[in-house]
A = this chain, B = another copy of it.
Amino acid sequence: MNKMSEVRKRAIGDVAAGDVNDDHREDAESEEDNKIEVDEVSKTLPQGTNHTPDALASALSGMSDRWRNWIIRGIFTCLMVTGFGIIIYGGPLALMVTTLVVQVKCFEEIINIGYTVYRIHGLPWFRSLSWYFLITSNYFFYGENLMDYFAVVINRTDYLRVLVTYHRFISFCLYIMGFVWFVLSLVKKYYMKQFSLFAWTHVALLIVVTQSYLIIQNIFEGLIWFIVPVSMIVINDIMAYVFGFFFGRTPLIKLSPKKTWEGFVGGGISTVILGLLMSYVICQYRYFVCPIEYSEALGRMTMDCEPSYLFRPQEYTLPTETLQNLSNWLGWKGTITMYPFLLHSLSMSVFSSVIGPFGGFFASGFKRAFKIKDFGDVIPGHGGIMDRFDCQYLMATFVNVYISSFIHTASPQKLLQQSDGILSQVYNLKPEQQLQLFYTLRDALEHRGILNTP
C-alpha cells in the first residue's frame, strides 16, 4: 500500500513536469467517450520509462533525449542480461523462484492498472481478494507441477500424500472460499465495478499464472527449453530496436508508431542467426539439455543424463535431388550432419520473430487503451516488468505446446516419464493391487502380440 502511494506521487510529479507523451495527447482527442476516465488514469499510474536514477540523469544531462534514452536503455539491458546469466548459473530452483517473482510483479502491475482505471479506493476487499485468488491459483498450478516431479519424495511423507491425493479438491475449496467471499462482499453501490474487477483479476490470472505454470514445465524439460526461447525474445527485442534506431524509416503498425519494418525484418533475421548459433553452443552441455529430475539418492534435483538424440549429431539426407547432385558435384556426401535440436531452434526463432512481436503490439494496444505509457517503472529505460515480459509469456506457451506436440510424441524416454507419473499413483495402492495392475498391462501387450511370454 505504501509503495503504491509513493509510486502515485512520483507519477504525478512526472506529469506536472510536463513529461507527457505526445502520442497520448493525440489519442485523447480522438476518443471522446473515455476522456474523463483516461485523464485520471494517466495522472495516477506510474509512467516509468522516464524515471532515471539521479546519478545517471545528471551524468547524461548534456545529451539529446533520443541518445540519453538509448544509453539508459542499453545500460539496463546489459544489467538485466547479466542478471539473467547469474540466475541461470544458480540452477533450476533459482529460475523457478525468479519466474514466480516475475509473475507476482506482473500481476501487481496489471491489477494496479485495473485499480486505477475503475477508480475505486474504498471498494470492499478488492485488493485482498485479488491477492487471495493469486495465491489459490498458484497453489493449484505449482502443486500440479511439483507433484509430478517429486512424486517419490512426496509419497514418503504422510501429510504430503494427503495434500497430493486431494490437491484438486483442496485447491477448489480454496477457490470457492474466494468466490463466496466475493459474492458476500458485493455492495449495491459498486456492483458494476466489483464485477469488472473480478473479471480483470481473472484475466490477469489467465495471463500470468497459467503461463508461468507452462514456463516451469518447460524448465523441467531441460534448461535449454527455457534459455533458448527467452534469449530469442530478448535478441529480437534488442536487434529490432537497434535496426529500427539506425535504419528505421517505414512504419510497421499504427499501434506502435515507433516500430518499423526495418526493425521487424532486421530483428527477425538476427534472431534466426543468433538463435541457431546460440543453440549450437548450448546444446553441447548436459547441464542445459538434460531434463530436471529429482534424484532420491542425492536428495536434490539433478541435470545429468545421456543426452537424448535431439542433442546428438545426426546425419540428414538432403531433401531434393538437385541439392544432392550439387553436393556430390562439390565433393560432399549428399548428407548433412547436425543436431536435430537446431531444427526445433529454427521453428522457435521463426515464431519469436514473426508472432512474438504481436505480443508486444497487444501490450502496446492495451497501454494505449488505458492511456498509460508503461506498466510500471521498475526498470529505468524499459518501464515495468510486464513491459519486458509481454512476449515472453506468449513464447513460453508456444514452446510448451511445441514440446508436447513435436518432442514428447517422438521420444520413448518422454513417454516413459509419463508412465512414471501414472506409476507413482499406482504406488499409492496396496502391493497386491499394484501387481494385479501390472499383469493386466502384460496381458494387454500379449494380446496384441507384442510380448511373447517364455
Contact = CB atoms under 8 A, between A and B. Distances in A.
B438 A442 contact: yes
Contact of A401 (B172, B416, B437): B172
A401 B171 CA distance: 9
Contact of A192 (B34, B166, B406, B409): B34
Interface string A410-438: 00100110111011011111010111111
A31 B416 CA distance: 59
Contacts of A179: 358, 362
A430 to B, nearest CB: 9
Chain A contact surface mostly: helix
Given A188-B254, A189-B30, A409 B165 contact: yes
Contacts of A33: 192-193
A251 to B, nearest CB: 14
A156 interface: no
Sort chain A's interface into a size bin: 35 or more
Contacts of A401: 168-169, 172
A191 B31 contact: yes
Given A191-B31, A361-B183, A365-B191, A412 B441 contact: no
Contact of A437 (B30, B31, B169, B415): B415
Contacts of A422: 415, 418-419, 422
A437 B419 contact: yes
A16 interface: no
A405 interface: yes
A431 B402 contact: no
A450 interface: yes
Given A203-B203, A206-B206, A365-B195, A435 B415 contact: no
Nearest to A367: B191
Interface string A167-188: 1110010001001101100101
A180 B358 contact: yes
Nearest to A117: B192
Contacts of A183: 255, 358, 361-362, 365
A453 B438 CA distance: 12
A369 B194 contact: yes
B445 A31 contact: no
Contacts of A435: 445, 450-451
A438 B436 contact: no
A440 interface: yes
A287 interface: no
Interface of A: 27, 30-31, 33-34, 38, 165-169, 172, 176, 179-180, 182-183, 186, 188-189, 191-195, 199-200, 202-203, 206, 254-255, 355, 358, 361-362, 365-366, 368-370, 397-398, 401-402, 404-406, 409, 412, 415-416, 418-420, 422-423, 425-429, 431, 433-438, 440-442, 444-445, 448, 450-451
Closest 10 pairs between A and B when the two form their complex, measured CB to CB: A169-B405, A191-B369, A192-B369, A172-B401, A195-B369, A199-B203, A168-B401, A186-B365, A183-B361, A166-B405
12 contacts: A31-B189, A31-B191, A33-B192, A165-B409, A166-B406, A169-B402, A176-B355, A183-B361, A188-B254, A191-B365, A412-B437, A415-B429
